[in-house]
A and B are shown apart, each in its own frame.
Chain A
Amino acid sequence: MKQLELDNVVRQYLISKGRNSLNGYSRYLQFAIMGLEDLHADLSKEEKIKKVDVDRSTFVIDPPEDMIELNMIFFNNSNGYIEPFVRLTDMSYTVDGKCLTDDVAVSPNAQQMGFSWADDNFRSGDYVGRDFGSVKGSRFTYNINPEDNRIQLSSNAPRSVYISYKGSPSTVDGKHLVHPYYIEPIMFYMDWAESRFKGNISPAEKAEKHRQYVNAKHKMGLRLGRFSLQDAIDAVRQTTRLAPKI
């Protein structure tokens, strides 16, 4: 698939403004990256998958640095299928050393990592607590600790898991690469970004530049999500997957 370097888009913008030198490049590059991130967040279908080793003492994993939104945590089970983790929002973790949901004893290791990690709790011989995030049948669970930016897995997690997520725009050798459809909306974003906080530009002009960007973004969305004849055929096929009756 054809991809352009973002540097190319910045130079196209400079050329469009009548420039023949790189003066202002670093500022425009920053605008271009901001535009790319905005478009990426709304329209990108790119999904990143990263393999992460699980700390066996705490069952805590660090999310990828470029992760914006978690899609799924999974591993391949022995049957060759994807085994997803389910988010257990009441899986407890600690904030400032205190458990958020229960006053329970926590493993020193887990507490150190920001999560409570409780064994079964008994009072006067009766079970009163639970294994936070632990096994319930064959369920694999996780929860996110936003404060410490960590993910807690249930104790039945394997040694390594995969994280599927939406990340920041990718770079190859330190360079951002963009699909050709991104060029026009990024340039309109740069034009808008350059003016939006300036005091000498009228609100009407700023609004017009923003409108141009939104239009270009919409056009890009249409191009990326274009419903082709092949898509239609595929859709029909999916709905008529019946065994022939003989």
Chain B
Amino acid sequence: MTKRKLGEQLIKTLNAGSNNSDVKITMPQAMLYVGQARNVMIKELLYSNYANFGEFDVPHDFLSEFIVTPVENEYGQVMSSLPAHPIGGIHQDMGIYHVSYPNDEPNAFAPLKSGWSAMYAGMASQNLEGRSGYYPQGDKIYFTEDVSGDVLIRMIADSADIGERDFFPITPDMESEVLGRAVSIAQIAMQTPEDNQNDNEAIRVG
């Protein structure tokens, strides 16, 4: 399944089965709504699993895979731009799920927080038992100094960063629910009356 296919399905659903130019929702809008619905649903599902099973983990269906090549910036920090924005605000920052060298997955990098270097300075855990480490910061990802070469990143990427014809990471059984949620979002947009007069004034509702 791709984001575009779900977008087409959303337009057909809202347009009584046909996909023509009469529909009020455009394809970019449809894909945006589908993506937003997926983002919310993933977060809800993770916390629902946590509540039901007492365990917090990310199903593989939600993960996207990227390769980045870190460089050293002018301050000597080893860093790279994040290839996609991870879903944030989830337990233990699991939006970024796995980081390692592509050919050495068992020696995964230890996930850190941006305040890590100050908090753990001088502590026995500071050397991470020999592991490399990383911490995301905004749209960048920083690595411990020993990292060089290509790095594999698996993350729950924001739907907006997933190509419209790329694999859309959701479980097959979620497709209908994602579509249902996207319809709800789209209907709010469709209920808003169109302003067809070019008079530089917004339409007054009610």
Residue positions of A touching B, CB distance < 8 A: 5-7, 10, 17-26, 29-30, 33, 168, 171, 173-176
Q: Is the CB of A21 within 8 A of B129?
A: no
| Across the A-B interface, the 5 shortest Cβ-Cβ residue pairs | A18-B55, A23-B92, A7-B129, A30-B125, A24-B92
Q: Is the CB of B56 within 8 A of A18?
A: yes
Q: Is the CB of B55 within 8 A of A17?
A: yes
Q: Is the interface of B mostly helix, strand, loop or mixed?
A: mixed
B75 interface contact, C-beta 8 A: no
Q: Is the CB of A174 within 8 A of B130?
A: yes
B167 interface contact, C-beta 8 A: no
Chain B, Cβ-Cβ closest to A24: B92
Q: CA separation between A218 and B6, bound complex, in Å?
A: 59
Q: CA separation between A99 and B28, bound complex, in Å?
A: 82
Q: Is the CB of A174 within 8 A of B92?
A: no
Residues of B with C-beta under 8 A to A29: 110, 125, 128-129
Chain B interface residue number, banded: 20 to 34
Q: Is the CB of B98 within 8 A of A21?
A: yes
Chain B, Cβ-Cβ closest to A8: B129
Q: Is the CB of B111 within 8 A of A23?
A: yes
Query: Counting chain A CB atoms within 10 Å of each CB, which of B55, B56, B91, B125 scores highest?
Result: B125
Q: Is the CB of A26 within 8 A of B94?
A: no
Known contacts A18-B56, A23-B97: A30-B123 contact under CB 8 Å: yes
B24 interface contact, C-beta 8 A: no
Query: Counting chain A CB atoms within 10 Å of each CB, which of B91, B112, B130 scores highest?
Result: B130
Q: CA separation between A206 and B59, bound complex, in Å?
A: 31
**Chain B 42-58 interface mask (CB, 8 Å, partner A; 1/0):** 00000000000111111
Q: CA separation between A25 and B98, bound complex, in Å?
A: 12
Q: Is the CB of A23 within 8 A of B93?
A: yes
